[in-house]
Amino acid sequence: MRTALKVILGIAALVLVVLYIVPYFVPLDWSWNITYISMDITCGRLRHERYLCGIKIGEWVEETPLSRAYRRLIGDPGKPQWRNALSGCSYALINYTHGSSLCAARQLTNGCETGRFSQDAQRQAILNFFDLLQNDDTPARAEQYVYAIQSLPERPENEIIEISDLPPLSLDTGWEP
């Protein structure tokens, strides 16, 4: 009986070492507890996937302010195109190529909400942002586009930003705000 208890305790100790200590020193493809966040580059929704010991234990999709604006102004986005944005575990936060898209999407939403954009200008800015995300290898041009929108000059209180005021999709044309 004592031998069986020692074996069980030894196995439990070995499992704990493998699960808690080894990942700090040996890069593994999975962790004890990890969450992946992916962005749908068709409308801005976020998908959260939760893993425990490499086994998926949960998944949920979050509507963001940008995805709600997309549905309100444009309609159904169609089939989602998920891109990895972030993952986090007990010892690291990994930022993937589309991690910065999360910030750019938030800034675009804030710009459209706080600026006085016509509905057509909001719709076009959102369509341009997602067009750049879907058709480029990296989100850098989409981010530049959002920064260009943010740098639009202040307008008098009664003046609305129209489609013609938006920056072009190709910012290398010498466009100035």
Tens digit of pLDDT for each residue in 17-65?
776 666 566 555 555 678 888 999 999 999 999 887 777 888 999 999 9
- CB environment 31-62: b (16+ within 10 A), e (fewer): bbebebbbbbbbbbbbbebebeeeeeeeeeee
Mean pLDDT to the nearest integer, 72-99: 78
Q: Give me the pLDDT at residue 21, please.
A: 67
Q: Give me the pLDDT at residue 175, please.
A: 47
Q: Give me the pLDDT at residue 138, please.
A: 77
Which one-letter DSSP state was computed for residue 161? B
Q: Give me the pLDDT at residue 64, please.
A: 93
CA atoms of 23 and 53, how far apart (whole Å): 11
Q: Which residue has the higher pLDDT, 155 or 76?
A: 76
pLDDT of residue 177 exceeding 70, the answer is: no
Q: Give me the pLDDT at residue 61, please.
A: 94
**Global confidence as pTM:** 0.75
Tens-place pLDDT, residues 113-169: 777 788 999 999 999 999 998 888 778 888 888 888 888 777 777 788 888 888 887
CA Rg value for the chain? 23
